[in-house]
Structures are given as structure tokens and as C-alpha cells.
């Protein structure tokens, strides 16, 4: 069977038997069409002519063309799906895309605001209950490094004002308790003074509520942060993850205690924290020269 016909048979199967969405099918078609064009330039006409070397050359071509590792991995996934179908239908003997990995792309570090930008963002007015709520949200994000879903799910009883702590439920339903700074506590107290006046139901437990008096959703929180930043003259696209990263970066730059930051962020693995945070090499060198016993000896020898 011609390779192009085989692709069409596979897409029909994915639509009828697997009932994939139109959006997903368009993605499969786009990725497989790239592979078909690649095969046409190499006069590969049938599925049986596609071998491991052909798949590797396709990956190399995509990489040379500037495709990211994530994009190539998606395209390899589409090829595995295609050849799994063809093997099952008896149209080829094996799946040449199995075991081939896409090149890894460097992980992108989320951007952080500077301490000065954070100060600028958090110095806005709180003349009404919406502004008081938004101020408390932003302060809590930056004070405690919370994830968006963690903050959105908070209840009023999760804040322990006497001990300056907040208990959150993170990924995998794991709970952790982290400190809350004094400025954030003040903002939360100011918010709670007016919160009850705007609850639709007196039994509402959500810490942050919207104009309808019910729990504020994650999309609304994202939009309010962007609006707050813009009102304060910060014209970057500010989002909760940026405030979480700002919290981690500023804390790590001051303390250089990676383990403590790991615990505060709720990361299961230290490697996640190492990617999530960033220190410039000059700062790392200072930490090394100050702490490592061989560093002092090296200085003496060089002097």
C-alpha cells in the first residue's frame, strides 16, 4: 500500500474507532504530512520501505530545521501510532519508530521579577474590596511561593495567623505548611475584614471569593494578577508562576539554602528546584570560595 494511503487509513481509524477530537486529528495529520514530504524527497513510497535509519534521518532533518525536542517527540509519537496501526493491520512487519528518542531541549526557566519590580507591583492602592483581595492574593503568592491551584483551593481556616503559617494541598494531594510573611499577613487580615460582606453563602469556606460571592477560579486569579501588574506600571505578562519563581529566586539568592527552598516549594526532588531556580555564576563562585575548604587553599597558592 502506498505510504500516503496508509496514513489516510490510519487517520480514519483514529477518527472512527479511537474517536479522537478534531483538534487532535489535525495535529496527527500535520505531523504525518511532514513525514510524508520527507519520504517523498527520498523516494520512499511504501510503509515497508521505512526503516529505523529513515526515522533517524527524519529526526535529524527536523532538528536541523530548528524544531524543538518537544516538537520532535510529538512527531515521533504520531509515527509510533501510525506504524502500530500498520503492524496490527498486517501492512508492515515492525514499528521502526520504537526506541528512537527526540533530542532533549534545554528546560526553559520561568522569568522572575526583580525585588524592585515586586515592590512596585505590591504597592498599589486598596481602596475597595476587590483591590484588597487582589493585594492579598499577590502578597501571598510572593510571600509563600504557592502554586496557582494551591492558592485557589485555600480556605479561611488554612491560614494560621498566630503562628504565621499556611497549610496548602499541592501536587499528588500532598499537604505542606509554609511560613507567611508579616506584610502578607496584614494584607490577608485587611481582606478578611471585608470578605464576609461579599459572600453569597455564609457557609462559604473559600479564602478568596469573586464578585458572585463564591470561590475565585484559577482563570480569574490569573487575570487579576495581570491587571494588577499593568495598573502598577509593570508591562510584562505577570502570572502566578512568575511570582512563585520570584519568591524562590530571591530567597535562594539571599540564603543559598537549596534544600530549604525545595521544602518551601513542595518539590519532591532537589533536581526540580535546581532547574526552577537560577543563580548567576558570580554568586555561585562567591558561595564556593566562602564555603569550600579547597577554595581557600587555591587562593593562597595563587597569591
> Exactly one of 62, 133, 147, 245 is catalytic; which is it?
147
Is residue 121 within 8 A of residue 112, CB to CB? The reply is: no
> Exactly one of 171, 212, 231, 286 is catalytic; which is it?
171
Please say if 241 is a catalytic residue. yes
Whole-number Å distance between alpha carbons of 41 and 198: 66
Please say if 276 is a catalytic residue. yes
Task: Give the closest residue to 3 by CA, choosing from 126, 120, 115, 85.
Answer: 85
C-alpha grid cell for residue 129? 474590596
Is residue 148 within 8 A of residue 218, CB to CB? The reply is: yes
> Exactly one of 4, 198, 241, 278 is catalytic; which is it?
241
Task: Give the closest residue to 181 by CA, choosing from 136, 213, 211, 220.
Answer: 136
Is residue 234 within 8 A of residue 113, CB to CB? The reply is: yes
> Exactly one of 133, 195, 224, 244 is catalytic; which is it?
244
Please say if 267 is a catalytic residue. yes
Please say if 147 is a catalytic residue. yes
> Exactly one of 195, 239, 245, 267 is catalytic; which is it?
267
Please say if 13 is a catalytic residue. no
Please say if 29 is a catalytic residue. no
Task: Give the closest residue to 157 by CA, choosing from 102, 109, 224, 206.
Answer: 206
User: Which residue has cell 485587611?
Assistant: 190
- What SS3 state is found at 178? strand
- What SS3 state is found at 175? strand
Whole-number Å distance between alpha carbons of 33 and 74: 13
What is the end-to-end Cα distance of the chain in Å, rounded? 75
Is residue 100 within 8 A of residue 79, CB to CB? The reply is: no
User: What is the set of active-site residues?
Assistant: 147, 171, 241, 244, 267, 276
Amino acid at each position: 500500500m502506498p505510504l500516503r494511503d496508509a496514513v489516510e487509513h490510519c487517520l480514519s481509524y483514529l477518527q472512527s474507532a479511537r474517536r479522537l477530537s478534531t483538534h487532535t486529528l489535525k495535529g496527527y495529520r500535520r505531523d504525518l504530512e511532514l513525514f510524508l514530504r520527507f519520504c517523498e524527497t527520498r523516494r520512499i513510497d511504501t510503509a515497508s520501505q521505512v526503516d529505523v535509519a529513515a526515522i533517524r534521518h527524519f529526526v535529524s532533518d527536523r532538528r536541523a530545521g530548528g524544531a524543538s525536542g518537544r516538537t520532535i517527540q510529538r512527531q515521533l509519537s504520531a509515527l509510533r501510532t501510525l506504524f502500530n496501526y500498520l503492524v496490527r493491520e498486517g501492512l508492515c512487519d515492525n514499528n521502526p519508530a520504537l526506541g528512537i528518542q527526540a533530542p532533549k531541549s534545554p528546560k526553559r526557566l520561568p522569568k522572575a521579577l526583580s525585588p524592585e519590580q515586586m515592590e512596585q507591583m505590591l504597592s498599589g492602592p486598596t481602596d475597595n474590596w476587590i483591590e484588597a483581595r487582589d493585594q492579598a492574593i499577590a502578597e501571598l503568592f510572593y510571600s509563600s511561593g504557592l502554586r496557582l491551584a494551591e492558592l485557589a483551593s485555600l480556605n479561611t481556616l488554612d491560614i494560621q495567623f498566630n503562628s504565621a503559617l499556611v497549610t496548602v494541598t499541592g501536587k499528588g494531594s500532598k499537604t505542606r505548611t509554609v511560613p507567611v510573611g508579616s506584610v502578607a499577613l496584614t494584607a490577608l487580615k485587611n481582606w478578611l475584614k471585608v470578605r464576609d460582606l461579599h459572600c453569597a453563602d455564609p457557609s462559604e469556606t473559600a479564602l478568596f471569593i469573586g464578585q458572585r460571592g463564591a470561590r475565585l477560579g484559577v482563570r480569574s486569579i490569573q487575570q487579576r494578577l495581570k491587571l494588577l501588574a499593568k495598573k502598577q506600571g509593570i508591562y510584562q505578562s505577570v502570572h502566578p508562576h512568575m511570582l512563585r519563581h520570584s519568591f524562590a529566586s530571591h530567597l535562594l539568592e539571599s540564603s543559598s539554602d537549596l534544600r530549604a527552598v525545595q521544602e518551601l516549594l513542595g518539590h519532591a526532588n532537589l533536581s526540580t528546584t535546581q532547574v526552577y531556580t537560577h543563580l548567576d555564576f558570580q554568586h555561585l563562585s562567591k558561595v564556593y570560595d566562602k564555603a569550600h575548604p579547597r577554595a581557600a587553599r587555591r587562593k593562597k597558592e595563587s597569591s
